[in-house]
Amino acid sequence: MKTRKFLVLLLVCILSITPIIGCTKDKVDTSENNTTVDVGKENDQEEPKEEGELLISAAASLTDVLNELSEVYKTIEPETTLNFTFGSSGALQAQIEEGAPVDIFMSAAQKQMKALDEGGHILDGTIKTLLINKVVLITPKDGEVEMKSFEDLTKDEIKKIAIGDPANVPVGQYSEEIFNNLNIMDKVNSKFVLGSDVRTVLTWVESGEVDCGIVYATDAFTSDNVNIVTEAPEGSHKEVSYPVAVVKDSKNPDRAKAFLDFLSTDKATELFEKYGFSMK
């Protein structure tokens, strides 16, 4: 009898310290090195990101830097394809107002961005001034006319001055400001040859079709076929700043915001500075 009671007591003790089968915790030892795994649970795996594209309307002066920047972005966000439309900021503004499918607008002046924002075309809270540029006077590399200043544009030997069309092209608007502030507008306006964007002006100067032209410093830096005569005098025009924003009708606002965040990273800053821009 005592032996039987002892065995019952022993069994109760064993059961009190041993987990009952079917009531064990989810983690069990599966190997000699005591590795534990979750039983009955699938390993968590991050879902692959969906592929998509961003349609970006950008000022022509951003052509070179954005084309190189897109290659860098592919290594960071391979699921996102960047498609650019380059042109004058005014023309791009008009396209957005007319309903063109655009995710991001990158302007070479505040005027066009402000107009879009006031017209309800920009996603609230996404406007950011990103870059600063300069305005310069350039001549063909082998040009025969000697120039040292903007005032030299009044010389009789200067027959053709290429500028961006002030109606649509920010660099043309800055050019007009310079001429007015230097009080030379009435002496030079008959010499104007108007380009549809800043790259058109650069091309005309490179080819020698005009005696000189006015472009951004960053455009002049891309060419081996022009001479930079001088920068516009300090205070002769508004600051050349580049605002960027997400367009309100964007089909990919989150993806667009992610790209705007990237534009302020060290990698993007390095590229912008390589092409002569300054960060705001």
* Binding residue numbers for molybdate: 61, 89, 198, 216
Residues 243, 127: contact at Cβ < 8 Å?
yes
Residues 92, 105: contact at Cβ < 8 Å?
yes
Report the binding-site residues: 61, 89, 198, 216
Residues 158, 208: contact at Cβ < 8 Å?
no
Q: Which of 120, 113, 56 lies closest to 258 in space, CA to CA?
A: 56
Strand 212-216 and strand 161-164: the pairing is parallel
In this structure, the dihedral spanned by the alpha carbons of residues 13, 14, 19 and 21, taken in order and rounded to 10 degrees, is -130
Q: Which of 99, 72, 104, 71 lies closest to 85 in space, CA to CA?
A: 104
Q: Distance between CA atoms of 200 and 162, rounded to whole angstroms?
A: 9
- Give the number of other Cβ atoms within 10 Å of residue 13's Cβ: 10
